[in-house]
Amino acid sequence: MGDLSLDWGSDLGASPSGDFAVASGELLSRQRVVRRLLNNKRLVLDDGEILSADYLYDSEFGESLGRRIGSDVGPQSLAEVVAFVREGLQGEDTVDQTQPPTVILTRVAGGLHLKISYIYAATGARITLPSLVFA
C-alpha cells in the first residue's frame, strides 16, 4: 500500500469515492522529503539521556531538523543547516541526485525561513516545498 495523501499543512486527502487518497508522483516526493527532514532520529545525549525516534519502525530515519528549533544559529550555523538539509535530500531516491537542490535559509523576525526546491527524478520537474518558518 502507498502512503496516504497528507501534504504538509493540510488535511488527509480524499479520493473521489470518499476513501483516503493515496499519494503518488510529485506529491509523494514532497511528503517523503518533508517527513525525512522533520522526523527526529533516536539520539543519545552526552549525559546518557535517550531521545526517542519519531518513526517507530526505523530509529535512524530522519534528519531531526525539528530538534534544531531554539538552538543558537549564527552565520556559521546557517551554512551548517543548509549543508545539513542538502545532505538529507541525498537520502531520497525521488530527488534527482545529478542536480543540487536549492536551499535558502534566511533570518526573519523571531526565527528562520527555509525555502527548498529540487528536481523530481522521475520527470525532471522542479518541486518547491512550502516554506518552513522556525521560531
DSSP letter at 18 equals S
Residue 8, pLDDT score: 66
Q: Is residue 67 part of a domain?
A: yes
Asked if residues 116 and 85 have their Cβ atoms less than 8 Å apart, the reply is: yes
Residues forming beta bridges with residue 117, ordered by sequence position? 102, 128
Average pLDDT, the chain: 86
Asked whether residue 11 is domain-assigned, the answer is no
Task: Please give the Cα distance from 59 to 43 (Å, whole number).
Answer: 9
Q: Note whether residue 42 is domain-resident.
A: yes
- Identify the domain containing residue 52 by its residue range: 25-134
Per DSSP, 62 falls in state S
Residue-level pLDDT at 60: 87
| Confidence (pTM) | 0.82
Q: Three-state SS for 110?
A: coil
**Number of independent structural domains in the chain:** 1
Whole-number pLDDT of residue 70: 65
Q: Which domain CATH number covers 51?
A: 3.10.450.40
Residue 64 in any domain: the answer is yes
Q: List own/partner pairs for 59-68 with CB under 8 A and 24 or more apart.
A: 61/36, 62/35, 62/36, 62/37, 62/38, 63/36, 63/37, 63/38, 63/39, 63/87, 63/88, 63/91, 64/39, 64/40, 65/37, 65/38, 66/38, 66/40, 67/40, 67/43, 68/134
The answer to whether position 66 is within a domain reads yes
Rg of the chain over all Cα atoms, to the nearest angstrom: 16
Instruction: Return the SS3 of 25.
Output: helix
Low-confidence ranges of the chain (pLDDT < 70): 1, 7-8, 69-76, 135
Q: Tell me, what's the pLDDT at 77?
A: 78
Would 9 be classed as within a structural domain? Answer: no
Rounded to whole angstroms, the Cα distance separating 6 from 133 reads: 19
Q: What is the pLDDT of residue 117?
A: 97
46 located within any domain:
yes
